[in-house]
Amino acid sequence: MKYEDVSKAIQERLNGRSTLLRTRVFIPVLIIATAILAFIVMNMLAPTVEPAEPRERSWPVSVATVTFQDIRPQQTLFGEVIAGRETELRALVAGTLIETGENFRDGGVVKEGDLLVQIDPFDYQAALDDARARLREAKAKLQSERDGLKIDQQQLDIAERDLERARQLHEKGTVSNAFLDNSERTFNTAQWAVTSRTARVEIEAAQVQQRDVALRRAERDLRDTKLIAPFDGYVSSVSAELGKRVGINDRIAVMAGSERLEVKFNITDAQFGRLLEVGEEVIGRTITVTWRVGGRPLAYQGTVTRVGAQIEAQTGGVDVFAVLDAAPEDIRLRPGAFVEVRFPDRAYEQVARLPEGAVFDGDHVYVVADNRLERRDVTVAGYAGDDVFLTGSLEDGERVVISRFAEIGEGVLVQVRGE
């Protein structure tokens, strides 16, 4: 093959490849351009939609109606029932327990004068009988000495008269010196007898007093063999039983009085201060005590009788004590019961009571007027649980918003729920 023929064939082949390459590039470009042109035409031919004006949003809210009134809120506190008086019962004499009272057991209810325990009285009865005999003996000796003193006093009176007569006769020279001396000796002897007898009477009188004290002590010891309930109440912590020997001052049981149950509860410094600030007394206030037992609330009334002498470091408040007013037989409470206490706080005059969440920044609320919010400046006068007492620019009948939402503010459109 000639050189020219080969060169021509190569040239024709290269031209064919170039044409194919141009075709492959052109077709995609043409497709993209056509799509863009179609989009532009459709946009130009599409109808124009005018944007709607934005609609103001209305916020649903809950409201509370303002009512100004005098209010004395009740604080809900918690306390403990305690006995108005409580005592440890201890053995006053030593001995063996030979009898116990019917209700002498933990939780037993006893009346004043009921027998709790009886200690064997044999030795104490014997001691009492001996003391009585010794007293009778001492009294007999005392009486004998007193009778003897009377006789001695009579002898002294006779000796004194004889001595006086002897002196008169001696002065007249009727009797001798020996007779006068004998009269003086008789008088001195009688005088000494009276003095001696008087001393013995005093000794015997002292002996009678000692024997009388011993008798009364023996009577008391015999009486103390019976441990008697000193008042109406409940028995607890029993540590004695039949046959047990107890010593003097051994604890037998603990007794809590039922005729005067008290409730002890704590009020904070702030609560106590609010009362003092307006000059109101804590003592004398009526409280309501609720004991929830077995799913059933039992309510009692009480009266505050005293306030603790110092601030409690643990609670930061003051202990208050109130006496339950119900009769003892009507009270099922027991010392140690945990109770709820409704305690009257200070009085507030002409305030509006609203939920605490209605107040913004502590100084204003929002009221609904013609479905829009208006701000009202207020002052918080006090608190009661989750409520606040307000004074300020509010008026009776206005509806205060108690809902909260981020966009709340003056002039915001709202819709009261339920309307």
**Rounded mean pLDDT, 117-128:** 95
Label residue 84 by pLDDT band (50, 70, 90): confident
Please report the pLDDT score of residue 8 as a whole number: 61
pLDDT per residue over 184-231, tens digit each?
999 999 999 999 999 999 999 999 999 999 999 999 999 999 999 998
The residue type of 304 is: V
Check whether domain 122-223 has CATH 1.10.287.1700, yes or no: yes
Each residue of 252-267: pLDDT tens digit? Answer: 999 888 777 889 999 8
Spell out the CATH class of 61-71+348-416: mainly beta
The pLDDT mean for the chain works out to: 85
Q: What is the pLDDT of residues 390-402, one digit of tens each?
A: 998 899 999 999 9
Fold of 74-83+258-344: Elongation Factor Tu (Ef-tu); domain 3 (2.40.30)
Look at residue 1 in the predicted model and tell me its pLDDT. Answer: 47
* pLDDT at position 303 over 60: yes
Domain ranges of the chain: 1-48, 61-71+348-416, 74-83+258-344, 122-223
Q: What is the dihedral of CA 142, 144, 150, 151, to 10 degrees?
A: -150
More confident residue, 359 or 382: 359
3-state secondary structure the chain: CCHHHHHHHHHHHHHHHHHHHHHHHHHHHHHHHHHHHHHHHHHHHCCCCCCCCCCCCCEEECEEECCEEEECCEEEEEEEEEECCEEEEECCCCEEEEEECCCCCCCCEECCCCEEEEECCHHHHHHHHHHHHHHHHHHHHHHHHHHHHHHHHHHHHHHHHHHHHHHHHHHHCCCCHHHHHHHHHHHHHHHHHHHHHHHHHHHHHHHHHHHHHHHHHHHHHHHCCEEECCCCEEEECCCCCCCCEECCCCEEEEEEECCCEEEEEEEEHHHHHHHHHCCCCCCCCEEEEEEEECCEEEEEEEEEEEEEEEECCCCCEEEEEEEECCCHHHCCCCCCCEEEEEEECCCEEEEEEEEHHHCECCCEEEEEECCEEEEEEEEEEEEECCEEEEEECCCCCCEEECCCCCCCCCCCEEEECCC
Q: What is the pLDDT of residue 223?
A: 95
